[in-house]
Copies of this chain bind each other. A is one copy, B any other.
Amino acid sequence: MGDIQKDTVRNSLLRLMPRESFEAIAPHLEHVDLPRGTELSAPNETPLHAYFPESGIASIVARSPQGQHAEIGIFGRDGMTPTAMVLDAESDPYSIFMQVEGRGYRLASDQLKLALKDRACLNLLTRYSQALSVQGAYTSLSNAVHHIDERLARWILMCHDRTDGDEISLTHEFLSIMLAVRRPSVTTALHLLEGRKLIYSERGMIIVRDRSALEDFAKDAYGECEREYERLIGPLR
């Protein structure tokens, strides 16, 4: 396992980590499959492992006591979990799970904590925490003021940023949870985007057809938190 080379890694945070920090944790990084639904962190439980995805998309969801839920952020190879540990919080109240299958590296929490003693490594990950928090803020804004179709477009763009091709494997049901709307509303909104030739939609699959037109469509909803990520961390795509 000690044979992981930094330049073969695709996770942005691992790549940007100071060389000494990376070399210290590299022997402990475990390459793992992350099938759809894999739980990376459970609400209010101290996670045993940190995850740095290489591919796929994870979703961060907040739940209310009565079981209402809404997505507050996503990450793929641009991010990691748990940021709670980076911020000395041990756990957070979210469910974090894979939404689009992928692979990644897993690290024992203790090893992460050791690495965080290095200030440069810590700063990288606190900056990422900030970027994620900003993503949540703009999700909140979007939930409050934008229409379903714009939010859907925003969401597809965010997934597209974290995916290699133009195909994103997702069901309407899943999307409806992510956007906190009814499932039939997703169907309708997808039809609208498809009618404008921005995407193709197949069973269990969304295919981006015209990314820049999609950005135009999502206009006011997309872009701010991506700019912030690039300022704090580096290129997103």
Interface residues of A (CB under 8 A from B): 62-66, 68-70, 72, 83-84, 86-89, 92-94, 123, 126-127, 129-130, 132-134, 136-141, 143-146, 180, 219-221, 223-224, 228, 232
Contact = CB atoms under 8 A, between A and B. Distances in A.
Enumerate the 3 nearest inter-chain pairs by beta-carbon distance, A residue then B residue, closest first.
A140-B140, A144-B180, A87-B130
Nearest to A129: B87
A89, A126, A232: which has the most chain B beta carbons within 10 Å? A89
Given A70-B144, A140-B136, A143-B140, A130 B89 contact: yes
Contacts of A72: 136-137, 140-141
A130 B136 CA distance: 12
Q: A interface, by DSSP: helix, strand, loop or mixed?
A: helix
27 contacts: A62-B137, A63-B141, A64-B145, A64-B224, A65-B219, A66-B219, A66-B220, A68-B141, A68-B145, A68-B146, A68-B220, A70-B140, A70-B144, A70-B145, A72-B140, A87-B127, A88-B126, A88-B130, A89-B127, A89-B130, A89-B232, A92-B130, A93-B228, A94-B137, A126-B129, A133-B136, A143-B143
Contacts of A68: 141, 145-146, 220
A72 B143 CA distance: 11
A215 B132 CA distance: 30
Protomer copies: 2
Contacts of A87: 126-127, 129-130
A122 B217 CA distance: 42
B70 A141 contact: yes
B219 A141 contact: no
A135 to B, nearest CB: 10
Given A136-B137, A136-B140, A140-B139, A127 B66 contact: no
A30 to B, nearest CB: 26
